[in-house]
Structure 1
Amino acid sequence: MVYNTELNALIDRLKNDDKDSENVNPGSWGLTEYLKTLIDNNQLQDSAAIGSAKKAVTDGISLLSDAQLKAIALDMLNNDLYMKECPNCFEIIAWGEMRIALFEGQCYHCVYQQEKIEQE
């Protein structure tokens, strides 16, 4: 079940990270590429989310309506396509590292540290 606070936080992050052309927000880089990957890999399930993500990739998230942003955010949350922060170090997960974080269950830095310890 998706809570409104979680949904609204993701919608706000999508809006803010889209506006961040200078990558000032932690984790903002790679948003458009991540959406494109979700589309290309058929990971989004809802037709409204798919159409909205395609529009976001083509025209930019800033041109999406609130309903379109909500469709993307709901699909991401309902299908485990989003991790806000690393459960180990609590760093915000960058969009460009989202796939590895979801696969590994932690951020890239923590994966690297874990591998480093295992090699010792």
Structure 2
Amino acid sequence: MGDPVLHIELRKWADIFVISPLDANTLAKLANGICDNLLTCIVRAWDRRKPLLFAPAMNTNMFEHPLTSQQISILQGFDYTYIPTICKTLACGDTGAGGMAEVTTIVQKIIDVLEELPQASQT
């Protein structure tokens, strides 16, 4: 009691949360409310009035599995912002869907979301 709780302190500190890349394992955990590490605990404690963006990255077969689209939909239902995957040569050597969006795309989406936030009142 009285000591700071890391995942709560990080939640309070951050104005925006970007998970990039988001692998299939962590996507499944987030969609099912599992909080067994620092990242998933922060997400579970996240103030949903603040933006959370996620950019999945996984093997094509994993990405095309029906569970993946269901889990992405669950996160979108929490008003989290999905940054779509792209087709490219993946880390495993396969070429196909499931590649993380280009960094420039992710950065632009972050800028867009930040520009949509209400400006702090000037004192």
The alignment's TM-score, normalised by the length of structure 1, stands at 0.29
- Greater percentage in strand: 2
- Greater percentage in helix: 1
The alignment's TM-score, normalised by the length of structure 2, stands at 0.28
Larger radius of gyration: 2
